[in-house]
Amino acid sequence: MKQAWRWFGPKDPVSLDDIRQAGATDIVNALHELPPGEAWTRRAVAERKAIIETTPPGRTPLAWSVVESIPVPDDVKRLGRGANASIAAWIASLEAVAAEGIRTVCYNFMPIVDWTRTDLDWPVPSGATALRFDNDRFAAFDLYVLRRPGAERDWDEPTRQRARRVLDSMGTAEVETLTRTIAAGLPGATTDALDLDAFRARLAAYAGIDAARLRQHLIEFLEEVAPVAQGLGVHLTLHPDDPPRPLFGLPRIASTAADYQALFDAVPVEANGMCFCTGSLGVRADNDLVAMAEHFAPRVWFAHLRATKRESDPMSFHEADHLDGDVDMVGVLRALSREDRKRPAQGKIPFRPDHGHRMLDDLAKTTNPGYSAIGRLKGLAELRGVLRAVETLA
């Protein structure tokens, strides 16, 4: 398996030399400066690739091996095949990536909001901080800040009461921070940053789109793009919903084994693959991650390895240390490593540590939430040790 690292480009406070020192060899990157729906050009991809792969004398080479992500525009999620121009632009971006020899593309199909948290620096007992999803804080935003029409139907009375108390305990600055955290997007998000009025308008545009309709739109998108990817020799990897359940009354359709199986049955071409994100899938107690890794192994072309920990309210969770939490990381790595050993060199599975704790010197630095250097360095070291043991004992 290939040890990878997410890098946000030249403005990332984590440098390419930092990544080399962490021991990673493969870079996960995207043209984050371009908005969803704008076609990437081969020239732009080549320029970014040159930055990553031009190795200074005496340095370890790095390879840009995964694009994460080419954003799927909102109209594709609402209209499916009817979003002709956006699908054409997405295919143009795919062709630009393939022309530069990058063979794995990650994407997601979450409507309006991408990965969602309520706290970006939640203290953990070690003194480090973690990303967290607090269900009551999220309900407070949905019910009393966003004031989403119909939100009260999605929350039971005890939760509504707790959410009211949470909001009453917050000052104006804390409410504004919560709003920015949820509505304005997080690092690597592939959806638009929205103010509250735009958020409500975007929600209204999804009226009548249930899980079946959203899944059909994803299938229509894949029917258009997966054969192109197959012809280009590129694997598409769908990232799970994060968290893997409906938010804001919107359906999510990449949360369980049944969700993925439905997509693979509908579009069976090899290019239609999976990003196996243990943290996202691990939020749900009914997801058996080891069984999923074993079953879907031939479809896994990229892996995010992190551990989430459900709290006393199982709808709340935080990012745990990479080998702790609710994820059997050893079992998952055993299954993925078994698959990886069957593959030729060009088919090896890249994995990256994800959502590390903010710790040590990074506590005094400006960092991208979840993507500070030292927490991910710790995670990669732990994962590397497990992987070495698994491969040695195989």
Is residue 281 predicted with pLDDT exceeding 90?
Answer: yes
Active-site residue among 235, 322, 355, 357? Answer: 355
Dump pLDDT digits (tens) for 252-270.
Answer: 999 999 999 999 999 999 9
- How far is the first Cα of the chain from the last one, in angstroms, to the nearest whole number? 14
CA distance 149 to 139: 13
Rg, Å, the chain Cα set: 20
Question: Is pLDDT at 186 greater than 90 in this prediction?
Answer: no
The pLDDT value recorded for residue 25 is: 97
Q: Which residue among the candidates 107, 144, 260, 371 is catalytic per the annotation?
A: 371
Given the structure tokens 């749900």, which residue do they identify?
A: 284
Query: Which 8-state DSSP code applies to residue 175?
Result: H
Note if 295 is an active site residue: no
Q: pTM of the entire structure?
A: 0.96
Q: Residue 313 catalytic?
A: no
If pLDDT is split at 50, 70 and 90, which confidence band does 19 have? very high
Q: How many CA atoms lie within 13 A of 157 on its CB side?
A: 0
Give the tens place of pLDDT for each residue, 79-135.
Answer: 999 999 999 999 999 999 999 999 999 999 999 988 999 999 999 999 999 999 999
Reported as a pLDDT band with limits 50, 70 and 90, residue 289 is very high
Residue 184 pLDDT level (bands cut at 50, 70, 90): low
Delineate the domains of the chain, giving CATH numbers in brackets.
2-116+209-393 (3.20.20.150), 119-200 (no CATH)
User: Does position 187 have pLDDT exceeding 70, yes or no?
Assistant: no
Is 124 exposed, middle or buried (CB count within 10 Å of its CB: 0-12, 13-18, 19+)? Answer: middle
Outline where 5-150 has alpha helix (H): 16-22, 42-53, 74-79, 84-99, 135-140
Catalytic: which of 217, 235, 304, 357? 304
Residue 339 has pLDDT above 80, yes or no: yes
Closest CA to 241 of 267, 274, 264: 274
Marked catalytic residue, from 119, 144, 206, 277? 277
- Residue 394 pLDDT class (50, 70, 90 cuts): confident
Residue 355's Cα: distance from chain center in Å?
10
Q: Hunting for tokens 């029917």 — which residue is that? A: 223
Residue 371 is among the residues annotated as catalytic for this protein: yes
Is the separation of the CB atoms in 304 and 239 below 8 Å?
Answer: yes
Residue written as token pair 């990650």 = 106
Q: Which of 239, 318, 322, 357 is catalytic?
A: 239
For the cut 90, the answer to whether the pLDDT of residue 249 exceeds it is: yes
Name the 3-class secondary structure at 34. coil
From the list 74, 142, 241, 354, the catalytic residue is 354
Establish whether 275 is a catalytic residue. no
